[in-house]
Amino acid sequence: MKSRKQAIAATLLAGLLWGSSFVVIKVGLETIDPYWFAFLRFAVATVIAVSYAAATGRLRVVGALLRRPIVILFGVFNGLGFILQFKGQTMTTAGKAALFVNVSTIFVAIGSRFMFRERFGALKVVAVVAGMAGVFLVTTGGRLEIASRTQFVGDLIVLAGAVAWTFFILLDKKIVHGTEVDIRALTAAQVLLTTATALPAALLFAPHAFPAGDASWWAILYTAVFCTVIPFMLWTSGLRYISATVSSVILLVEILYAVALAAVLLGERLTTGGIVGGGLIAVAAYLATRGEVEMTAPGPDFVPE
């Protein structure tokens, strides 16, 4: 099915763009407070997305979406996820942050079983297991190490962000399947609500830390455009034709890309275990696209694909 192939390609590209964010964020956090970084990233994205919505006559659609409780929750959970990721990355590495963010894959698989009545075929189970094993090997090289207290706390904070994104992913799936949704209008609503969620955190926890002239403003602009607006549109469009679980497994490729960029730009070393893990991630992505099963008969909360 052509639309399904396009959905897979769009999701894959979104994963690559999101994968680049971990390294850019790590570099940007050297000069930018994490709370203001999160807010400014989405403030810029909001200007872009809302301007586009206005230029294409979608502002009324955006307004209608902002009045829906499910959309509000959707944006708030996304904001919480980013606040926790940015704060956590000040204490842990880019590679480990990528690992813990993608633990949401397992949570989504479990949540989809209850929210969307998705059945698990054997290939999907193998894909999830292989994908998570690949993530572990890529980010750790297969070695279990006792982290410092600071890094351990950072890991837990990023992991809490993964929990927030689990709800975000499931709510997005419910929104796009519950009715016909204008993806670009939904993008504008999402980034606006994320910005509204991030601003109170910045004002509360870092009231005097607004970025100065020597801050890495390029990192804010890059993450706003190439790690927010564009990949969100690609990913949400893909969710029309593939399940939330399959989408999450495909997005594991962002781990491989994040680790590769970290090796080149931050000097992180790729181990043999990392190479093996990258192969597992590729296999998992392939199995996920081949192993999706049909949902049960549509209920009141969603429509057939």
More confident residue, 121 or 8: 8
Mean pLDDT of the chain: 81
Is residue 298 one of the residues assigned to a domain?
no
What pLDDT is attached to residue 101? 81
Check residue 21 and give its pLDDT. Answer: 93
In a domain, 24, yes or no: yes
38-62 per-position pLDDT tens digit: 999 999 999 999 999 999 999 999 9
**Residue 46 covered by a domain:** yes
Please name the residue ranges forming H helices in the chain: 2-28, 34-55, 59-66, 69-88, 94-101, 104-115, 122-140, 149-178, 183-205, 217-224, 230-238, 244-250, 253-265, 272-290
Domains in the chain, number: 1
- Predicted pLDDT at 203: 96
Sign of CA dihedral 82, 86, 92, 95: positive
For the chain, what's the residue count?
305
Which residue range forms the structural domain that includes residue 206? 2-290
In the predicted structure, residue 296 carries a pLDDT above the cut 50: no
pLDDT tens for each residue of 87-108? 999 998 888 788 778 777 667 7
Interior angle at CA 266, CA 260 and CA 272, nearest 5: 45
- Whether the predicted pLDDT of 113 surpasses 70: no
Q: Tell me what pLDDT residue 267 has.
A: 81
In angstroms, the CA 233 to CA 222 distance is 16
Q: What is the pLDDT of residues 154-164, one digit of tens each?
A: 878 988 998 89
295 assigned to some structural domain: no
Average pLDDT, stretch 28-46? Answer: 95
Compute the half-sphere exposure of residue 161: CA atoms within 13 Å on the CB side of its CA.
Answer: 26
pLDDT band at 243 (very low <50, low <70, confident <90, very high): confident
| Chain centre distance of CA 107 | 13
Instruction: Compare 143 and 281 and report the one with higher pLDDT.
Output: 281
Two structure tokens written together for 270: 């790729």
Residue 300 lies in a domain: no
d(CA 218, CA 221) in angstroms, rounded, equals 5
Domain-located, residue 301:
no
Predicted model pTM: 0.79
Q: Quickly state the pLDDT bin for 297 (edges 50, 70, 90).
A: very low
The per-residue pLDDT for 166 is: 84
**Residue percentage of the chain with pLDDT more than 90:** 38
Higher pLDDT, 135 or 190: 190
Q: Is residue 302 part of a domain?
A: no
125 within a domain of the structure (yes/no): yes
